Amino acid sequence: FPVQIFRVKEGVNYNPEDPNYDLFKLAMHCSAKRLFPNFSFLDAPFNIQYYQGTPETEIAYMVCRTRVMGNVYDPDREVTPGRGNLSFTSINLPRLAIRSKGDLDLFFDLLDAKLALTVGQLDERFEIQARKKVYNAPFLMGQGVWIDSEKLAPGDEQREVLKHGTLSVGFIGLAEALVALTGQHHGQSQASQNLGLEIIGHMRGYLDRLSAERKMNYGLIATPAEGLSGRFVRMDRARYGSIEGVTDRDYYTNGFHVPVYYDISAFDKIEIEAPYHALTNAGHISYVELDGDPSENLEAFEAVIRHMKDSGIGYGSVNHPVDRDPVCGYNGIIGDVCPKCGRTEEEHGMAFERIRRITGYLVGTLDRFNDAKRAEEADRVKHQM
């Protein structure tokens, strides 16, 4: 913590002739050394549509992916400050796909039923939150952080203010769901990619219709799944057995990502995942895994970031190995021996720190993470340029 984000914008910092292009270069240099900042893209069509030249109308992603922008409750205030996401609940796409046994009509019926159930649960949670009084949130409401909360008395309900917030439906394992439905995930076949976009587009359409009807902000998020990625697959394997490419790993793939174990070029991965950014209005992020030390090859790093921008990615980042020797302080890539002081891990009895990004956050050790996230990290392949 915290997650630093560099906002990329044409005319400000994106092109060499832009006044702050030097800052963009420095941000990439920093990220190539330390994994942060991430990069958000204000010119993506689904972000620029809200931009009116003010800081309030600039997209602001919250740490690992969350995004709050559109506002059907009050279309005059489609802004980032003074609002937030109220809660989200995630749908297990692979289970619906397994149950439908390749029958797409059945899959979409099951999906609609699950969407209705999920929205009902979000509504119930909203009702609990809405009945809280202003005095229950002395900072967020009492000090006027939320839109219009300063107009309320301490004994008033939070309801009208919270309607500016969002209720989000998430999803996990699009890749495994596509394998269960068609035999291939969206990195492997164009037909699966088309079906993936149809599924996620269907979910977004459902939530958009509901938002328009009820004047409440229902959104779609590509779930980060710190715990769910392992929990859902354990439950499904117990019930349906080990299914190749679906339940045979210790984790389900995050949101709409191409599986981390699938060998694909950086550019292809970006192009496959980009259209899902436009559909997931409550949050999204894409990652590329680079090998070696990208601070030695900043041209490649910049090519990746520019390709994200040009492909319509809203929010992205680049992963690469960052090691540190706590004894001599060396930062870089360490194999078995520290290149600076020449020690092995056995000498001095201190392990090298291996900084990795797990669901958006940097960790020096995977010890405190669950088996699913450790298995996912171990499976990651590097994406070739």
Tokens describing residue 242: 């080990």
Of 234, 260, 262, nearest to 248 by C-alpha is 234
- Among positions 212, 328, 351, 381, the unique one binding Zn ion when judged by CB under 5 A: 328
Q: Is the dihedral of CA 340, 346, 347, 349 positive or negative?
A: positive
Least separation in angstroms between residue 343's CB and Zn ion is 6
Taking CB under 5 A as the rule, does residue 351 contact Zn ion?
no
> CB-wise, 36 or 330, nearer to Zn ion?
330
Least separation in angstroms between residue 347's CB and Zn ion is 9
> What 3-state DSSP class applies to 206?
helix
- Among positions 338, 352, 357, 377, the unique one binding Zn ion when judged by CB under 5 A: 338
Least separation in angstroms between residue 356's CB and Zn ion is 19
- Among positions 236, 250, 325, 377, the unique one binding Zn ion when judged by CB under 5 A: 325
User: Which one of the spans 7-15, 46-54, 108-116, 326-334 is the region binding Zn ion (CB under 5 A)?
Assistant: 326-334
Taking CB under 5 A as the rule, does residue 323 contact Zn ion?
no
- Among positions 306, 340, 380, 382, the unique one binding Zn ion when judged by CB under 5 A: 340
Per rule CB under 5 A, count of chain residues that contact Zn ion: 6
Taking CB under 5 A as the rule, does residue 117 contact Zn ion?
no
- Among positions 341, 350, 351, 378, the unique one binding Zn ion when judged by CB under 5 A: 341
Least separation in angstroms between residue 379's CB and Zn ion is 29
Burial of 385 per CB tally in 10 Å (0-12, 13-18, 19+)? middle
User: Which one of the spans 106-114, 193-201, 247-255, 325-333 is the region binding Zn ion (CB under 5 A)?
Assistant: 325-333
Task: Quote the CA–CA distance of 306 and 208 in Å, as a whole number.
Answer: 30
**Subset of 269-298 contacting Zn ion (CB under 5 A):** none
Task: Quote the CA–CA distance of 102 and 85 in Å, as a whole number.
Answer: 35
> What 3-state DSSP class applies to 176?
helix
Least separation in angstroms between residue 332's CB and Zn ion is 10
Taking CB under 5 A as the rule, does residue 330 contact Zn ion?
yes
Place of tokens 């967020």: 140
Taking CB under 5 A as the rule, does residue 203 contact Zn ion?
no
Taking CB under 5 A as the rule, does residue 345 contact Zn ion?
no
Task: Quote the CA–CA distance of 138 and 188 in Å, as a whole number.
Answer: 51
Query: Torsion angle of alpha carbons 71, 256, 360, 268, nearest 10°?
Result: -120
> CB-wise, 124 or 347, nearer to Zn ion?
347
Q: Catalogue the E-assigned strands of the chain.
A: 5-8, 38-41, 61-62, 66-67, 85-92, 166-172, 217-222, 286-289, 315-319, 322-324, 331-332, 353-358, 361-363
Taking CB under 5 A as the rule, does residue 240 contact Zn ion?
no
DSSP state, 281? T
> CB-wise, 191 or 328, nearer to Zn ion?
328
Residue ranges binding Zn ion (CB under 5 A): 325, 328, 330, 338, 340-341
